[in-house]
């Protein structure tokens, strides 16, 4: 009976040591949880949103000065081949170089379309002295090689339609694109290229050059196989850049062939509700249905890997001239269509925005492209110099498209006393997989990150904050705005305060 109390004493001693050990370890461990408040602000972010058209910044351009136009991060430029190679083998790189340089000053990226054909009787203002001249599309020297009826230096006539089967045409265009790719294919500010090598305005039809019932390429003797070479040219010249294709007409198959090969797609004339025949009711639905049924059954899910872009029909200022047709509700329906198709860019042609549509446009911009929200963050562990901890976070994309470029998550510790950064921690994640909801009215998937960190051993006692940023790859430069109310400096967001003792 005497042995029992002795055993109890030993057990109590062991229990006391266990409690002391747990207490000491718990004293060093902390757990801080925080859920940011989601922001309803308009965000201007890389690669998405409203596009400047043929100008770097129409909003504050001293010549145009259109303050109602939204802030942009992307500019869209189209050039005819004749502008860039007026003499065989001599390229007007300066025109494109200047565009990139001016865009870079404002941290904007560029989308390019190279075109080979203008609308019939289309003119531009050029020459010495300045005068209106008809746009040929292809260089005059090439027309002289292709068209035996060409007289002298190309008469003021742009009715010529290139034969897109012609091996001479294809050879020269391949050489031209190779030169463009060599100079710009590695430019980080080239966001993507709109493959506009064929047809009127690069839109893959022969509008204004063929009979109304034969403007489609298919009815003019071109098969998808015939046009494949033009996709191949662009992919060879710009192997590391995203390409998009303009939606064809309701009976062409080349658009679906292109998207099935990984190209994104774009469509012109969104928002056309003209009584009678119009694009919104009589073109887009039929074209998409045709593509799904004939050339790309997965067309409507391609947005997960390749972008969708739109260009407005006419301008919003033109819409306001027909308010009985283009009501705010009808404009909202246009924008909802673009969102349902998971658009990233929307070209409003750098024209004034009527006040009657401003609310609809603002709501649209808040959903266009990607939009990231941190739902919750937890900092847990030994929050002391040299201590081991973890950062757990939950993210959602409340936009309608992914980011097609990766901007990795980086955490940083900031000394609140002097605002100096004491450490960066790299999540090494890829945000291109953070998809929004398939249905814009559904809840998006939650994406979780857990990052183990070690605090610097030389941290001084005091108050610190944990901040987060989505950075340009390979840098600590945060460049993406998050949809939370925690911005501290530039695109860094303060989430958690804690004390190091």
Below-70 pLDDT ranges, the chain: 1-29, 125-131
Residue in 288, 141, 181, 165 with CA at minimum distance from that of residue 230: 165
Residue 177 lies in a domain: yes
pLDDT in tens, 63-100: 888 999 999 999 999 999 999 999 999 999 999 999 99
CA atoms within 13 A on the CB side of 49: 23
Nearest CA to 409 out of 464, 455, 450 is that of: 450
Token match 């404002």: residue?
A: 106
Q: How many residues does the chain have?
A: 501
| pLDDT value of position 129 | 64
Same-domain status, 277 and 394 = no
In DSSP terms, 132 is beta-bridged to 125
Whether 26 is covered by a domain: the verdict is no
Looking at the structure, tell me whether residues 267 and 175 fall in a common domain.
Answer: yes
Burial group, residue 500, by CB count within 10 angstroms (0-12, 13-18, 19+)? middle
Considering the domain architecture, whether residues 318 and 345 belong to the same structural domain is answered as yes
Closest CA to 241 of 163, 188, 300, 179: 188
Do residue 186 and residue 310 come from a single domain?
Answer: yes
Check which CATH number belongs to the domain holding 321 and give it: 3.20.20.80
Instruction: Check residue 21 and give its pLDDT.
Output: 34
- Which of 330, 365, 400 is at the close of a domain? 365
Question: Do residues 185 and 221 both lie within one domain?
Answer: yes
Domain holding 444, by residue range, is 31-41+371-500
One domain, residues 321 and 415: no
At 92 the pLDDT is: 97
DSSP output for 432-476: GG----SSTTSPPPPEEEEEEEE--TTPPSEEEEEEEEEB-TTSS
**For the chain, how many structural domains are there in total?**
2
Q: Which of the 8 DSSP states describes residue 97?
A: H
**129 prior amide bond cis, ω within 30:** yes
The whole-number pLDDT of residue 127 equals 60
Query: Residue 236 falls within a domain, yes or no?
Result: yes
Q: What is the pLDDT of residue 13?
A: 44
Spatial CB neighbours of 332, under 8 Å, sequence gap ≥ 6 = 360, 363, 364
Same domain, yes or no: 203 and 294: yes
Helix (H, G, I), strand (E, B) or coil at 364: helix
At 411, which helix (H) or strand (E)?
A: strand 409-415
> What is the chain's mean pLDDT, rounded?
91
């Amino acid at each position: 009976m005497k042995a029992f109390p002795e055993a109890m004493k030993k057990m109590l001693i062991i229990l006391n040591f266990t409690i002391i050990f747990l207490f000491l370890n718990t004293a060093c461990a902390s757990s801080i949880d925080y859920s940011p408040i989601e922001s309803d602000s308009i965000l201007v972010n890389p690669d998405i949103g409203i596009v400047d058209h043929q100008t770097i910044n129409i909003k504050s351009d001293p010549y145009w000065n259109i303050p109602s136009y939204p802030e942009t991060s992307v500019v869209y430029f189209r050039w005819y081949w004749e502008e860039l190679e007026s003499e065989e083998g001599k390229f007007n790189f300066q025109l494109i170089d200047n565009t990139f340089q001016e865009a870079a000053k404002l941290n904007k990226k560029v989308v390019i379309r190279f075109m080979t054909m203008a609308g019939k009787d289309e003119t531009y203002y050029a020459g010495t002295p300045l005068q209106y001249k008809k746009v040929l599309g292809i260089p005059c020297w090439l027309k002289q090689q292709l068209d035996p009826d060409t007289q002298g230096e190309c008469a003021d006539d742009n009715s010529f339609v290139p034969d897109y089967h012609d091996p001479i045409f294809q050879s020269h265009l391949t050489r031209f694109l190779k030169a463009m790719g060599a100079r710009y294919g590695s430019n980080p500010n080239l966001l993507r290229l709109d493959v506009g090598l064929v047809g009127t305005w690069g839109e893959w039809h022969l509008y204004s050059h063929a009979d109304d019932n034969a403007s489609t390429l298919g009815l003019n003797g071109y098969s998808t196989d015939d046009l494949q070479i033009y996709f191949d040219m662009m992919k060879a010249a710009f192997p590391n850049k995203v390409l998009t294709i303009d939606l064809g007409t309701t009976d062409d198959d080349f658009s679906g062939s292109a998207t099935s090969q990984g190209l994104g797609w774009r469509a012109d004339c969104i928002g056309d509700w003209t009584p009678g025949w119009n694009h919104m009711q009589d073109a887009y639905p039929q074209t998409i249905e045709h593509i799904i049924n004939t050339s790309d059954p997965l067309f409507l899910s391609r947005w997960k890997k390749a972008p969708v872009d739109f260009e407005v029909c006419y301008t919003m200022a033109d819409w306001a001239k027909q308010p009985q047709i283009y009501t705010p509700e009808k404009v909202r329906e246009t924008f909802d269509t673009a969102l349902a198709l998971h658009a990233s860019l929307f070209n409003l042609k750098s024209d004034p925005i009527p006040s009657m549509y401003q609310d609809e446009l603002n709501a649209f911009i808040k959903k266009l492209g990607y939009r990231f929200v941190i739902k919750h963050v937890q900092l847990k562990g030994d929050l002391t110099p040299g201590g081991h901890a973890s950062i757990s976070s939950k993210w959602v994309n409340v936009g309608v498209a992914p980011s097609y470029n990766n901007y990795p998550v980086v955490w940083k510790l900031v000394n609140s006393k002097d605002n100096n950064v004491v450490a960066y921690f790299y999540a090494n994640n890829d945000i291109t997989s953070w998809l929004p909801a398939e249905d814009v009215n559904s809840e998006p998937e939650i994406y979780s990150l857990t990052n183990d960190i070690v605090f610097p051993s030389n941290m001084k006692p005091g108050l610190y904050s944990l901040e987060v940023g989505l950075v340009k790859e390979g840098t600590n430069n945060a460049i993406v705005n998050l949809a939370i109310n925690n911005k501290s400096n530039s695109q860094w967001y303060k989430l958690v305060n804690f004390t190091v003792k």
